[in-house]
Amino acid sequence: PELTSLYKEAEIIVVNDGSEDNTLDVCNNFNVKVITHPYSKGNGAAIKSGARAATGDSLVFMDADGQHTPADIKILQEEFEKGYDMVVASRSFNANASMLRGVANAFYNKFASWITEHKIHDLTSGFRIVDATKFREFLFLLPNGFSYPTSITMAFFRSGYSVQYTPLNVKLREGNSHIKPVKDGLRFFLIIFKVGAFYSPLKVFFPFSMAFFVTGIVYYIYTYLSYARFTNMSMLLFITSALVFLIGLIAEQITTLLYSKSIK
């Protein structure tokens, strides 16, 4: 109701991702466009469906969990009109649903900031405004499930597009979260490395390569001083170090090709 009241001229799209509640009944009472998936495909798939259907020059994404205030879209739009390609609403640490998620998001932000060499205030925020043409360049990169905000943010930084973060207050989400601490905690951990390896593979592979190399050097010094010989273990560590580095180098080339494809 608030969206349709504040933005009467806007194209409002609701993606109904196979929900079994009264989403369609609510939407029928308002002048919005509804896209319905026959079954739940995931948050990322819903975002991609909405982006393909939208006709505007800019896209605003907002989760339907009641955390964000529709009036804040104007704040994002004002920043966007200053020349940015994407403006993201950043939440405070205390705004997270739990201490565990707060710590996880803080770690996400630090890791992504190190990878991109840009300060990232809220890597997983789903409330943002973005240039529609530039966003569609990366649809093929976005996962169907968790976490499209992470992927699109890293893609924009990788391509040299301008990204701005704007602090906004959020409310407590409505309904229950689908996140399971243990199962999704492991998944988030894997996504961190997946995103890092996809954005800048050598930044992830090189530290591991150096760790194997340094361990090989230390072990060789130890065996040389103790037994005056070069052992098979030292050789294995040196070979592993070289292989990890070469894999990272190949991954870097593949990543470059993928990004060059997206901007053709």
Q: What is the pLDDT of residue 263?
A: 56
Please report which confidence band the pLDDT of residue 13 belongs to, taking 50, 70 and 90 as the band edges.
very high
Instruction: Say whether 117 sits in a helix, a strand or coil.
Output: coil
d(CA 88, CA 62): 11
**82-86, 111-115, 247-251: which has the minimum mean pLDDT?**
111-115
Helix (H) or strand (E) holding 133: helix 132-136
Asked whether residue 63 carries a pLDDT value surpassing 70, the answer given is yes
Q: Comparing 85 with 123, which gets the higher pLDDT? A: 85
Which residue type occupies 183?
K
pTM: 0.74
Strand partners, 33: 13
The identity of residue 25, as a single letter, is D
Burial of 193 (0-12, 13-18, 19+ CB in 10 A): exposed
pLDDT of residue 172: 66
Name the residue with tokens 């207050």.
Answer: 169
Average pLDDT value for the chain? 84
